Chains A and B, each alone.
Chain A
Amino acid sequence: MPGRIGGATVVLLAAWILGVGASPAAAQGSLNVYCSVQLEWCQTLATEFTRHSGVKVAITNKGSGEVFAQIKAESANPRADVWFGGTGDPHLQAAEEGLTTAYRSPNLAQLHPWAVKQAEQSGYRTVGIYMGALGFSYNTELFKKKGLTPPRCWADLVAPTLKGEVQMANPASSGTAYTALATIVQVMGEAKGFEYLKRLHANVNQYTKSGVAPVKAVARGETLVGISFVHDVVTEMVAGFPVAGVTPCEGTGYEIGSLSVVSGARNPDGARKFVDWALTAPAQSLGARSKQFQVPSNRSAEIPKEAPRLAEIKLIEYDFKKYGSSAERRRLLDKWDKEVNALPR
């Protein structure tokens, strides 16, 4: 009968609500993983770990900034056991605030020195699982059309020919762009670095909010050049877009994707088992299967053939301890906002 809400409907609704209320976060004995890499990678990790250990895994897929905010908000009664992936800075921040707990995996010995260093610097509260170098991407079709030579160095990005054609993310919102800011300061020194950023400001058409936005804009021809991680460029290339990646000749910084165990985890044994497994070579080869091209931290993990060759990249001695600390980060971001971002273009 139209126009009447029948008693049956009400009962049905009530049943539904109660059903909704009763569904718990995760069954006992399973492992709650907050996962900050691409969804397919997360899902493959979950299935493979269950196959390996018999522990059921519940994946929650979120960006690293969001996971950090969530773990912080939940700290009185933590919900997550493990936090997998995402750039290192929020992991270091979480370690600094005691949101994550120390664990020395026996498998640390199988890792590259940079990953072990990440663990040492955080008091073993986090460990590196992959590395991605910073660089730029450019649109090959548009460069050909305009008859320009592609940039090779940081210095090329401030050329007058690229006025209004460079895109980078806003370092206050994006971890990628903060890595770029810290890299430039470390490559050129703070005074010269900020002079450079001011000149770059004139060539930047917009500071995007998300770190992957510039490379996507390059792929679709919305801008000529974007500053981003080079493995993200490979992802666009593989999807069929006319982009190419460059790592700057003066040297460049990098991120260390990290893995942490949450303080007060409900399944600490499962969490440690997961860390041990995630550091092994077979587990680290799963990223490439999901078309993600970071460099794994296990020395014997297979490196995808599309991945940027570390040997061809001039990496700087990036100081994660200094530039990952909240005081230094706040100072640099404030300075960048006042002295660079506030300038007219």
Chain B
Amino acid sequence: MLALSALAVLAPVLLAAEVLARRGHLRGDRFAAASLLIIVVLVAVFVFLPLTRVLTAAVQGPDGTLNVGALWPRLTAEKIWTLACLSSARRCGVAWNTLALALLTASGTTLLGLAAALLVTRTALPLRRLARLLTVLPVITPPFVIGLAIILICGRSGVVNALLESWLGIPPTRWIYGWPGLLLAQLFAFTPIAFLVLVGVVESVSPTLEEAGQTLGGGPAHVLGTVSLPLMAPGLANAFLVGFVESIADFGNPLVLGGSFNVLATEVYFALVGAQYDQGRAAALAMVLLAFALGAFLVQQRVLGGRAYTSVTGKGDAGIPLALPRALVRTLQAVAIPWLAFTVAIYGMALAGGFVAVWGRDHTLTLQHFVKAFGVEWSAGGLLWTGGAWNSFWNTVRLSATAAPLSAAVGLLTAYLLHRTRFAGRRAFEFGTLLSFALPGTVIGIAYVLAFNTPPIELTGTGAIIVICLVFRNMPVGVRGGLASLEQIDRSLDEASLTLGAGGATTARRILLPLCKQALVGALVYGFVRSVTTVSAVIFLVSGDTDMATTYIIGRVVNGDYGVAIAYSAVLIALMVAVIVTIQRVVGVRAVGARAAESAP
């Protein structure tokens, strides 16, 4: 059914692509023309259409009638924009809170991500593999677990406060609730994403260029500052943009740790489902949120505009990667090692919760939570899946495994089109691909229900709507990673391939894709992981038959049943580690003819 209707839409699109290519657009490349049209149609249907549906509420009165006059007061509300906190003890507007937090988080995650990427790729850090795994852990942790673990460590009755009180007599405080705790949690949660974006970029910086810098007499620090870092600029800018957008769209952490510090994502959510039931206000707040994302995007474009960052060319690269200055290595270690220790503490704390009777109260060891969630019994009829979590678990595996390759494919193809072809409206198209990432999941979820609940596209209640939502929500990471990689690959490689008679499709597959392996791994891993851990986007899309792991976990958390929630999270983490290792094995690493240093410094 679905396949047939998809085919019916696909045929005219391919025909149009043929016409476009014949008339000489996109250098007459049929592959580029077809890909472009398909992606444009997909983004129009699955990003723009639902967004338009939900944002029109901003110009509607409470009863659904058109009321354009309501838009202005909703957008300019004092509650959103006041700057009173600068001059008095009163609060500031939620927009400023969001912006300040996002800037801090994005700067912090980019710096920490860069530190981790340099340490992992450029030094002989002991326990490198462990460090690599630890940096990924926060990404694969289901929401709320981190927030709760941070409360158990840093909360008023937490370990840190208890020690401070008994040793130094400092009365316990609640600093963790509010922006400091929120910033901590976001740094913790989003640095790994910056790391994933940056590790590929750091690896791609041409050792030859660095060697040339040293030959010309530059010391390691000088070369790092004038050659390596500038070459990483696109990666840094992309990491910053992703961190910024993640921060403004984050919902779980502000919910658990925000205290009275409000941000747009939670305000939108509660305008929609809280005691106000005000869709108009939610839509207006979502617009402010989108404006921030657009702003960050434009700034990034301006910063990067028109410079060259190519470092992978067709010529053999025989340089040895630059050794980092010793002082820098020490600084990086001083930052990264406490951070890793904190990671271990958080995870130790969180995982312990799955093995004790009542987390934070009764610490008798038990396996009852695992039995409750994942119990299996042998009976006369065969295997009985008695645990309550099996249904949602298999759903999650199936839907995420479907969504991940699709979002990687769509994301990388989009990156290819954006970077290697020229067409009118390219910038607008690029921003369009970011849209669904910047909005809080709740808004996307409601938008999907509004847009796809009635024919011609009737999808609610199926697994397909969840997959499609996940694909378009996660594709921006593929786009960002792909762009960062392509930025570094010289066009002469494409040209050589085209001159030798290969078409656009062959060039993309045989030349560019192997050189973008890191981005492919990143997109696949991230697509899968985000699909497994996402909650707010799917909350309106799941039905009785397509329950997801996270919605099940949230149900447990809301009821204070942390044991089962954590046991489930532990199983999901194990699943994701296995999947990540498999993806890395299967896709493999890119080999860019660079030697490794003979002896590590």
A-to-B contact residues, CB < 8 Å: 2-3, 13, 16-26, 32-33, 38-39, 43, 57-63, 65-66, 68-70, 72-74, 76-77, 79, 89-90, 93, 170-175, 177-178, 205-210, 212, 216, 219-223, 235-236, 239-241, 326, 329-330, 333, 337, 341-345
Of B276, B358, B360, which is within 8 A of A172 by CB? B276
Q: Is B220 an interface residue (CB 8 A)?
A: no
- Name the A residues within 8 Å of B174 (CB-CB): 205-206, 222
- Name the A residues within 8 Å of B453 (CB-CB): 73-74, 76-77, 79
Of B79, B388, B402, B463, which is within 8 A of A13 by CB? B402
- Name the A residues within 8 Å of B450 (CB-CB): 73
- Name the A residues within 8 Å of B269 (CB-CB): 173
The answer to whether A65 and B275 touch across the interface, beta carbons within 8 angstroms, is: yes
Cα(A342)–Cα(B260), bound, Å? 11
- Name the A residues within 8 Å of B226 (CB-CB): none
Which 5 residue pairs spanning A and B have beta carbons closest together?
A25-B461, A58-B544, A344-B89, A65-B273, A221-B157
Q: Is B274 an interface residue (CB 8 A)?
A: yes
Of B270, B539, B559, which is within 8 A of A39 by CB? B559
Among listed B21-29, B309-317, B319-327, B582-590, interface-contacting one: B582-590
- Name the B residues within 8 Å of A61 (CB-CB): 551, 555
Q: Is B420 an interface residue (CB 8 A)?
A: no
Cα(A219)–Cα(B358), bound, Å? 12
The answer to whether A58 and B543 touch across the interface, beta carbons within 8 angstroms, is: yes
- Name the A residues within 8 Å of B503 (CB-CB): none
The answer to whether B559 and A76 touch across the interface, beta carbons within 8 angstroms, is: no
- Name the B residues within 8 Å of A57 (CB-CB): 544
B90 — nearest CB in chain A belongs to which residue? A344
- Name the A residues within 8 Å of B270 (CB-CB): 65, 170, 172-173, 209
The answer to whether B555 and A2 touch across the interface, beta carbons within 8 angstroms, is: no
Q: Which chain B residues (74-125) contact chain A, with CB distance < 8 Å?
A: 79, 88-91
The answer to whether A342 and B91 touch across the interface, beta carbons within 8 angstroms, is: yes
Q: Which chain B residues (245-269) contact chain A, with CB distance < 8 Å?
A: 254-255, 258-260, 266, 269
Q: Knowing that A63-B558, A79-B461, A235-B560 are A-B contacts, what are 13 other residue pairs whose CB atoms are under 8 Å apart, sorted by A's residue number? A: A20-B467, A21-B462, A22-B1, A26-B543, A38-B555, A38-B559, A61-B555, A73-B453, A79-B453, A172-B274, A172-B276, A209-B254, A241-B361
Q: Is B426 an interface residue (CB 8 A)?
A: no
Cα(A260)–Cα(B465), bound, Å? 27
B63 — nearest CB in chain A belongs to which residue? A97
- Name the B residues within 8 Å of A62 (CB-CB): 539, 551
The answer to whether A74 and B449 touch across the interface, beta carbons within 8 angstroms, is: yes
The answer to whether A343 and B90 touch across the interface, beta carbons within 8 angstroms, is: yes
Q: Is B545 an interface residue (CB 8 A)?
A: yes
A74 — nearest CB in chain B belongs to which residue? B453
Q: Is B371 an interface residue (CB 8 A)?
A: no
Q: Which chain B residues (173-232) contact chain A, with CB distance < 8 Å?
A: 174, 177-178
Total interface residues in chain B, CB < 8 Å: 75
- Interface-centre pick from B89, B358, B560 (highest chain A CB count, 10 A): B560
Q: Is B362 an interface residue (CB 8 A)?
A: yes
Of A13, A20, A74, A344, which is within 8 A of B460 by CB? A74
Q: Is B556 an interface residue (CB 8 A)?
A: yes
Cα(A75)–Cα(B585), bound, Å? 47
Cα(A89)–Cα(B388), bound, Å? 31
- Name the B residues within 8 Å of A219 (CB-CB): 361, 560
Q: Which chain B residues (320-341) contact chain A, with CB distance < 8 Å?
A: none
- Name the B residues within 8 Å of A58 (CB-CB): 543-545
The answer to whether A222 and B460 touch across the interface, beta carbons within 8 angstroms, is: no
- Name the A residues within 8 Å of B1 (CB-CB): 21-22
- Name the A residues within 8 Å of B91 (CB-CB): 341-342
The answer to whether A20 and B273 touch across the interface, beta carbons within 8 angstroms, is: no
Cα(A22)–Cα(B459), bound, Å? 10
Min CB distance B76 to A, Å, is 16
Cα(A216)–Cα(B147), bound, Å? 14
Min CB distance B58 to A, Å, is 16
- Interface-centre pick from A74, A171, A341 (highest chain B CB count, 10 A): A74
Q: Is B458 an interface residue (CB 8 A)?
A: yes
Q: Is B387 an interface residue (CB 8 A)?
A: no
Decide: A333 near B559, CB < 8 A? Known: A20-B462, A74-B453, A240-B361.
Answer: no
Cα(A261)–Cα(B388), bound, Å? 28
Min CB distance B225 to A, Å, is 36
The answer to whether A239 and B277 touch across the interface, beta carbons within 8 angstroms, is: no
Q: Is B3 an interface residue (CB 8 A)?
A: yes
Flag B532-545 by CB within 8 Å of A: 1 or 0 each: 00000001101111
B275 — nearest CB in chain A belongs to which residue? A178
Cα(A200)–Cα(B460), bound, Å? 45
Decide: A65 near B156, CB < 8 A? Known: A24-B461, A342-B90, A344-B89.
Answer: no
- Name the A residues within 8 Å of B156 (CB-CB): 221-223
The answer to whether A79 and B464 touch across the interface, beta carbons within 8 angstroms, is: no
Q: Which chain B residues (449-495) contact chain A, with CB distance < 8 Å?
A: 449-450, 453-454, 458, 460-464, 467
The answer to whether A239 and B462 touch across the interface, beta carbons within 8 angstroms, is: no
The answer to whether A24 and B273 touch across the interface, beta carbons within 8 angstroms, is: no
Decide: A174 near B275, CB < 8 A? Known: A76-B453, A220-B155, A222-B156.
Answer: yes
A18 — nearest CB in chain B belongs to which residue? B3
Q: Is B577 an interface residue (CB 8 A)?
A: no
- Name the A residues within 8 Å of B540 (CB-CB): 66, 69-70, 73
- Name the A residues within 8 Å of B464 (CB-CB): 17, 20-21
The answer to whether B358 and A239 touch across the interface, beta carbons within 8 angstroms, is: yes
Cα(A311)–Cα(B2), bound, Å? 59
Q: Which chain B residues (1-46) contact chain A, with CB distance < 8 Å?
A: 1-3
Q: Is B136 an interface residue (CB 8 A)?
A: no
Q: Is B62 an interface residue (CB 8 A)?
A: yes
The answer to whether A23 and B463 touch across the interface, beta carbons within 8 angstroms, is: yes
The answer to whether A77 and B402 touch across the interface, beta carbons within 8 angstroms, is: no
The answer to whether A79 and B260 touch across the interface, beta carbons within 8 angstroms, is: no
Min CB distance A53 to B, Å, is 17
The answer to whether B275 and A172 touch across the interface, beta carbons within 8 angstroms, is: yes
Flag B345-362 by CB within 8 Å of A: 1 or 0 each: 000000000000010111
- Name the B residues within 8 Å of A32 (CB-CB): 543-544
The answer to whether A220 and B360 touch across the interface, beta carbons within 8 angstroms, is: yes
Q: Is B398 an interface residue (CB 8 A)?
A: yes
Min CB distance A289 to B, Å, is 15
